[in-house]
Amino acid sequence: MRLLNKLFLFTLLLIFYIMFSGSLSELTIISGVVISATLALVFDGIIIKRELRLKDLRKTLYLLEYLCVYLYYEVRAHAKMVRLILGRSSYIKSCVIRLSINLSSEYGRAFLASSITNTPGTLTLHLDEERGIVYVHWLAMTSLDPEVARKEIMGKLHDLTLKIFG
C-alpha cells in the first residue's frame, strides 16, 4: 500500500493548486481537494516510482529549508550587487577561488553548483567531481581565506545539500 506516497502527492498538489489559484475560497479548497485527490490516485505510480519512507519526507523538509535559506541569500546578494553597481565606491575586487565540497551525490554537487551560479556575484566555473572541488568566480571578494569564502559564498547551503542528497 502506497498510502504515504498518495498522501504526500495529494498534499503537494493541493498546496500548488491553492498557490496558483491565488484564492482561499471554499470553492477553491473543495475543487483543489477533488482535483488533487484524483491526480494523486491516478498518477502516484508514475510520478513516484518507489514507496516513500519517513526519511524521504525528512529530506523534503530539508529541501523546503534549503529553499528559504537560498531565497534569503539570493535577496542579500541582489542587494549587495545593487549597492556595488549604484554606490559611489568602485569596490569590485573579483577573484577565482577554490572551495572544497564533501558531497558524494552527483545530483547534490550539481544542485549546489547551480545554486552558486544563480546567486548574483558568483559563478561556478568548474566542478572537479573526483577531488570534490568547485572553482567559483567571486565578483565582490571579501577574503582569500577558503573558510571565510566558503561561509560567504555557500553559507548553510552546503550542509543542507548534504542532508538532502547525501
The pLDDT assigned to 134 comes to 94
Whether 96 contacts 135, CB under 8 Å: yes
> Is this model's pTM higher than 0.85 or not?
no
The pLDDT assigned to 135 comes to 95
The grid coordinates of residue 105 equal: 551525490
Is the confidence at residue 152, as pLDDT, over 80? yes
The pLDDT assigned to 1 comes to 53
Quickly count: other Cβ atoms within 10 Å of residue 15's Cβ.
12
Contacts of 122 (CB under 8 A, 6+ apart): 77, 116, 136, 137, 138, 139, 153
Note the pLDDT tens digit of each residue in 133-147. Answer: 999 999 888 888 889
The grid coordinates of residue 18 equal: 491553492
Contacts of 27 (CB under 8 A, 6+ apart): none
Please indicate whether residue 1 or residue 166 has the higher confidence score (pLDDT): 166
- At 118, is the secondary structure helix, strand, or coil? helix
Distance of CA 48 to the CA centre of its chain: 20
- 3-state DSSP helix/strand/coil percent for the chain, to nearest 5? 65, 10, 25
Looking at residues 107-114, what average pLDDT do you find? 91
* Rounded Cα distance, 33 and 142, in Å: 50
Domain ranges within the chain, ordered by starting residue: 3-47, 76-165
Asked: is 76-165 a CATH 3.30.70 domain? The reply is yes
The end-to-end CA distance of the chain, in Å, is 27
Whether 9 contacts 49, CB under 8 Å: no
What sign does the CA torsion over 132, 137, 143, 149 have?
A: negative
> What is the percent of the chain where pLDDT is above 90?
47
Is the confidence at residue 8, as pLDDT, over 60? yes
Note the pLDDT tens digit of each residue in 34-70. Answer: 999 999 888 877 777 777 777 877 888 898 899 899 9
- Average pLDDT across the chain, whole number: 88
The pLDDT assigned to 105 comes to 87
* Rounded Cα distance, 81 and 94, in Å: 13
